[in-house]
A and B are shown apart, each in its own frame.
Chain A
Amino acid sequence: MNTPTASFQPDRPKRLIMQGITKQYPGCLANDSIDIDIGVGEIHALLGENGAGKSTLMKIIYGLVKPDAGEITWEGDKIRIKDPAHARKLGIGMVFQHFSLFETLTVTENIALALGDEAKDMKVLAEKIRTVSARYGMALNPDRYVHSLSVGERQRVEIVRCLVQDIRLLILDEPTSVLTPQEVDTLFVTLRRLAEEGCSILFISHKLNEVKALCHRATVLRAGHVSGACLPTEEDASSMARMMVGDETPISMAYDKVQGQDIFLQIRGLSRISEDPFGVDLKNINLDVHAGEIVGIAGVAGNGQEELLAALSGEDIIKNHDAIHFPCGPVGNLSPEKRRGKGLAFVPEERLGRGAVPDMSLKDNALLTGFLTGLIKNGMIDHESTDSFAKKIIKKFKVKTPNSGTHAKSLSGGNLQKFIIGREIMQNPRLLIAAHPTWGVDIGAATAIHQALIELRDNGAAILIVSEDIDELFQISDRLCALCDGALSPIKPAPSTTVEEVGRWMAGIFDTDVCDDELFDKKSVSAQATATAVQTH
């Protein structure tokens, strides 16, 4: 393994020093007197959970947010960063988690927009993009439209957009969350090379193994303040995790893997042409989910997850009704309400707008999918039982809220996620389909959600989880597969597959039964066979 400490020199000159950075939002101290410094050619990790203040700090560096107090020193000079244009001029580039690209423009046009007047000649720029992307091992075709690129390729566009300029500090916000494990390795090679050339890199993440593999130093944030600083190579993952979450929170659990019973959800030959020009077509998907097991579908976002979930939940009615079967018969033509009547519960990807109505109270939101569990009597809402249902969810899943009358939109993302998951689990579904069950949820809450899912499984429910978080999938799934460009990979029990194999599935390489060694053996066998055949002639 490539150890970053080998090249680490603690006395290297500082490129960026931030002291006492404070930013107060209404009701939330996002950054509380934060000190951080980054050296020339250093890869510095900024670690922390969602809501720890990482995003605010980097937006301050990039000029998107103005700090209330604190000093910024850039290459020895005290400065104020006025706006992103100013930051870019200083040589600060940023790769966003939700990309800041324009779908209807080409790669060259996207990059030209960020460059200002230097990008007058598009042909010269396209050539430069080719050279730069080849130099750092990130192949890009400058003429492609961004909407036709995969998520990994889009990230390359963002990185190359920073590299064609004179870049001195590259900020990457959770860059690996959208990549397959193999793509992560390629990215790290590029980043190490950049650092060797003297570029400073601020690597924002909550994935400890990645920080250990890549970064020279790390600063850990918790609840808006610096809770620790360390050399990642000298720490183990659990000590860094402790700095991130504090002492009280349980960090992670290992769960038993089980075998399912009867098939509950049966998908056969599910194909669908997407009506959205930016959408993905589903290609002949076959999958069984048994009662009492958790099936996980890995995959980088935008590979057909949305389309598959819409077909399963009933938001999209598919032409071939037989493609989706419950034990009671084909359900492909049923509305979401009717499918719920047959035992389905569904947690969509978007929390606000799909999972919950932002301007309605938690109680009313509980009613929205819970109406089949006796909350409606003779066509009238039973307010008392609805309220107690909402209160039960809040209590069991530790949703932080003043009361059940709070509007859904005023809850933090993680809290609302707990409420929505809770609402579905409390209905005791026979089939639960959940997208990104712990997206944006802190570690403690994620553990609680995992335990609830396992409990539901042990009570005999069939569970299908779609997630981008490969570690989570390995932790809770009994069987695993991956979705790539609308096609489903082979499925294997979780203990008999590896992160590397699932990573290959995520990249669309499905020939997993033949591993490299076997391939070699077969070749030599067939060569021998040919030789024998020749001899006998």
Chain B
Amino acid sequence: MDIDLITNILYAMIRTGTPLLIVALGEMVCEKSGVLNLGQEGMMLMGAVAGFIATWLTGSLFFGFLMAIVAGVVMSQLFAMIALGLNANQVATGLALTIFGGGLSAFIGSSFVGKPIDGLEIIAIPFLSDIPVIGKMLFAQDLIVYLSFVLFGIIFWFFRSSRTGLIVKAVGENPHAANAIGLPVLRTRYLAVAFGGAMAGLAGGYLSLAYTPLWAENMTAGRGWIALALVVFASWRTERILLGAYLFGLASILHLVAQGLGFAVSPNLLAMLPYIATVLVLVMMSRNQGRSKMYAPISLGKPFHAGA
């Protein structure tokens, strides 16, 4: 393998891993507050279609990403109204949101399938992007990739040192105790869900506006589900989510490379690789129950009734 191939593999690894990283970070914040939103796939699809249509109509990528985020937030608040406002079962509500988002996005986007737009440009940072091997991977990416680095840093800091992060953790661990000491349980949860929605919408927009700048029905291809698995197997730890997302990216690229090099393995089997590799590695890492329990939100998925 020559050095160019490795450079390109690493570059593509980041690009492929980015949407997964964004949506998984959002879901992690949501789950840390004790809310299990299985609607990631639906919110991503709505973000993708809303972003694509907005950009196609106005020509503005900025407006496209904005609409992608708005679509994600709107979907997430639909979930919040039912699951938090009416205390419905979170699993069922989330599943319904995914099915709803998949159908609605296909319906809205049906006349936009195959239409072309100009995707997000690569911004190479002078000098830094010339560093061999890692220069292209880290410093010749598009804006959203850079944004995902920043978001990772913020969320890492948020749960490590911020008071608000502490409140989110507390609400996810024991909402009744949090209520008893006067913390706003429901408001925290609504906001966490909205943040998860914004991130899912952004990730969806990234797929349809940057990664493959076009709209296709069901184009998220299960990334929302992988993100959900990622959060659990990463034991709700920010740095492990980053690792898992890029691992998934790497495995996705490797299977394309393997096909290109003409390995005599069924391409269908190779296509399974990213999913299997990601899950396997993270399962191995989260095998120590004791460690992961320190980070898991204990009241995940349990509805909260004030005053009960």
Q: Chain A residues in contact with chain B, CB under 8 A?
A: 62, 64-65, 83-88, 94, 96, 99-105, 109, 112-114, 116, 119-120, 161, 275-278
Q: Say whether A100 contacts B180, CB under 8 Å.
A: yes
Q: Chain B residues in contact with chain A, CB under 8 A?
A: 163, 166-167, 169-170, 173-174, 176-183, 289-291, 293-295, 298, 307
With known contacts A277-B289, A277-B293, A84–B169 Cβ distance under 8 A: no
Q: Which residues of B contact A86 (CB under 8 A)?
A: 182
With known contacts A65-B307, A100-B174, A277-B293, A112–B180 Cβ distance under 8 A: no
Instruction: For A109, give its contact among B166, B289, B295 (CB under 8 Å).
Output: B166
Instruction: For A104, give its contact among B163, B289, B294, B307 (CB under 8 Å).
Output: B294
Interface SS, B side: helix
With known contacts A83-B182, A102-B173, A113-B181, A64–B167 Cβ distance under 8 A: no
- The distance from the CB of B189 to the nearest CB of chain A, in whole angstroms, is 16
Which residue in chain B gives the minimum CB-CB distance to A109? B166
Q: Which residues of A contact B167 (CB under 8 A)?
A: 113
- The distance from the CB of B292 to the nearest CB of chain A, in whole angstroms, is 9
How many A-B residue contacts, CB cutoff 8 Å? 70
Interface hub of B163, B293, B295 (most chain A Cβ within 10 A): B163
Which residue in chain B gives the minimum CB-CB distance to A120? B163
Q: Say whether B181 contacts A105, CB under 8 Å.
A: no
Interface hub of A84, A85, A86, A113 (most chain B Cβ within 10 A): A113
CA distance A276 to B288 in the complex (A): 11
Which residue in chain A gives the minimum CB-CB distance to B293? A277
Q: Which residues of B contact A109 (CB under 8 A)?
A: 166
Q: Say whether B173 contacts A119, CB under 8 Å.
A: no
Which residue in chain A gives the minimum CB-CB distance to B183? A113
CA distance A276 to B298 in the complex (A): 13
Q: Say whether A100 contacts B176, CB under 8 Å.
A: yes
Instruction: For A113, give its contact among B166, B176, B289, B298 (CB under 8 Å).
Output: B166
Q: Say whether B290 contacts A101, CB under 8 Å.
A: no
Q: Which residues of B contact A112 (CB under 8 A)?
A: 163, 166
Show 24 residue pairs from A and B whose CB-CB distance is below 8 angstroms, ordered by the A residue: A84-B181, A84-B182, A86-B182, A87-B182, A94-B180, A101-B174, A102-B170, A102-B178, A104-B169, A104-B173, A104-B294, A104-B295, A105-B166, A105-B170, A113-B166, A113-B167, A113-B170, A113-B178, A114-B181, A120-B163, A161-B181, A276-B290, A276-B293, A278-B293
- The distance from the CB of B157 to the nearest CB of chain A, in whole angstroms, is 14
Q: Which residues of A contact B173 (CB under 8 A)?
A: 102-105
Interface SS, A side: loop
CA distance A84 to B289 in the complex (A): 35
Q: Say whether A102 contacts B307, CB under 8 Å.
A: no
A113-B166, A116-B182, A277-B290 known, 10 other contacts, Cβ within 8 Å: A64-B180, A84-B180, A88-B181, A94-B180, A101-B174, A102-B174, A103-B173, A105-B166, A113-B170, A275-B290
- The distance from the CB of B106 to the nearest CB of chain A, in whole angstroms, is 40
Q: Say whether A84 contacts B174, CB under 8 Å.
A: no
Q: Which residues of A contact B290 (CB under 8 A)?
A: 275-277
CA distance A104 to B170 in the complex (A): 9
Q: Say whether A101 contacts B177, CB under 8 Å.
A: yes
